[in-house]
Structures are given as C-alpha cells and as structure tokens.
A and B are shown apart, each in its own frame.
Chain A
Amino acid sequence: MTEQTNVAKATEAHRSEEVLTPPVDVIEDASGITLFADLPGVPKDKVTLQVEDNTLTIEGAMDLEALEGVSRFRRVFTLSKELDGEKVTADFNQGVLKLRIPKAAHAQPRKIDIRVS
C-alpha cells in the first residue's frame, strides 16, 4: 500500500514539473553557430543559460498569471570542441532567444596554400 501511495505521489510531482521542449533552429556558418529558440511567455529574467563541460543548457519558466501552474522549458545540447562556449552571446526578444556560439580562433577556416615545388 505504501509503495502504491509513493508511486502516485511521484506521478503527481512529475506532472506539476512538466517540462516543455522549445522548438529551435540551428544554423552554422563559417565563424560559428546561431541558435534560435521559441520560449513564449518567459520573461527575460526567467531565462537561464549555462555552458558547462561542453553542454549548453537552455531553461526558461513561463510567467502567466492567468494560466494555472507554471510551465518550464528546458533543452540541452552538446557543443563540439571547436565551439567557444565562453564567448556565447545571447539576445532575447518577444519570447525568442537568439544565441551566437562562435568557433574558437584556431578552428576558424583558413585558406591553405599549396606550394608547388
């Protein structure tokens, strides 16, 4: 019986902590990666970005009085080695997060000259 109650409680806790996956666009160009994420209803101060051990975590909490419960957004990406996680810049406007992750200087494309001997 006790076990069953625990299971029920765990399910409830899981429901109240329901996490939404925001849709994203990821575009790569020669100097880095640009990421756009839709986080509607999240105020600027409730967006959390974290880069740790090549892992980028995007989190946001919705803040809508009229809607019951608070919905959270969360999405995690693994960055590859050539990306410079320390130089990420972020811009947040009307529920859209724009991240720019530059490539490390040594990973920037270089033209390689072929010497003719």
Chain B
Amino acid sequence: MIYRTLFPRDVFAELDRLQRDMQQAYEFSPSIRGLARGGFPGLSMNTTPKSVEIHAFIPGLDPAGIEMQLEKGVLTIAGERKSVLPGREDKATVHIDERFVGRFRRVIALPDDINPDAVDAHYRDGVLHVSIQRREAAQPRRITIQ
C-alpha cells in the first residue's frame, strides 16, 4: 500500500518512509502487513489467559457503519469517516485540517487458540472494543498429583 513517493517533496510520505525505515532498523521482523497509512484507527491488542482484547480508536462513527469480519484467525475492521470540511461553494476557510477522513481498513492477526463463535464488540465514546474468548484448552490448568 505504501510506495516510495514519486513526489519527493511530499513531506508526509517522507515521514512515512522514515517511520518504516526506523521500524526496519529496530525490529528485525516487522509485520507482513506493514503500517496502515496514517495509522487510522489507532489499535491496541492485549491478551489475557481467557481472552484477546482489542481497542480501536475510531471517534465519530455510527456503529452501524463499522464493518467487522473474522476469518481464518484474521480480524478486519473497516469503515468510512465522513468529512466535516466545507465544500468549495461554502464561504468558509479551513485553518487546520488534521482529523482523518475517508475509508479505513485495518487487519489484525489473532492468536491461534481463539474461539470465533465467542466474539463480543461494543462501541462507546468513539472506541470500538472487541473481546474474543480463547479456547478452554489454551487456558492454564492446575494438575493434581495423585
């Protein structure tokens, strides 16, 4: 998805490239899916012995507009965020334009032992929280010695 830019003065593309180069330098095996453009939405993934907890920071969306798919141990979160910026015909000036606009799609590889039938997703205060249960067998069990 990210190419070395054709336009060398595109400072954001240069920063993206710098970030990738840094990642290559410090992490010898970065994810095969690389970095999402602009990193939207921000993601965090935590695992507990019983579940995998994922938080995606996607403020200002209608929960019905978020598409989520779990297939072959890969979770995809996709959707679109509409622009609030005025059109050309409006007599308005945009002074700062930093918020993400447009379609986004992020893909997360999950651990092998998740149960695809036990997924719970909530959207609150602009954060999508996905909780996926792990299979019983993967949970540590105490073995009594006879």
Q: Interface size for chain B: under 10, 10 to 19, 20 to 34, or 35 or more residues? A: 20 to 34
Q: Does B85 contact A (CB under 8 A)?
A: yes
Contact partners of B93 in chain A: CB under 8 A: 27-29
B2-10, B16-24, B95-103, B106-114 - the one binding chain A: B95-103
**A23, A43, A63, A66: the one within 8 Å of B99 (CB):** A23
CB proximity of B96 to chain A, nearest CB, Å: 4
CB proximity of A59 to chain B, nearest CB, Å: 15
**B57, B92, B94: the one within 8 Å of A41 (CB):** B57
Q: Which residue of A lies closest to B131 (CB)?
A: A66
B27-35, B122-130, B138-146 - the one binding chain A: B122-130
- A90–B100 Cα distance when bound, in Å, is 21
- A15–B142 Cα distance when bound, in Å, is 38
CB proximity of B122 to chain A, nearest CB, Å: 11
Contact partners of A23 in chain B: CB under 8 A: 98-100
Contact assessment for B94 and A40 in the assembled complex, using a CB-CB cutoff below 8 Å: no
- A64–B124 Cα distance when bound, in Å, is 10
CB proximity of A95 to chain B, nearest CB, Å: 2
Beta-carbon contacts under 8 Å, B69-124 to A: 84-86, 90-100, 123
Q: Does A42 contact B (CB under 8 A)?
A: yes
CB proximity of A106 to chain B, nearest CB, Å: 20
Contact assessment for B97 and A95 in the assembled complex, using a CB-CB cutoff below 8 Å: no
CB proximity of B45 to chain A, nearest CB, Å: 11
Q: Does A96 contact B (CB under 8 A)?
A: yes
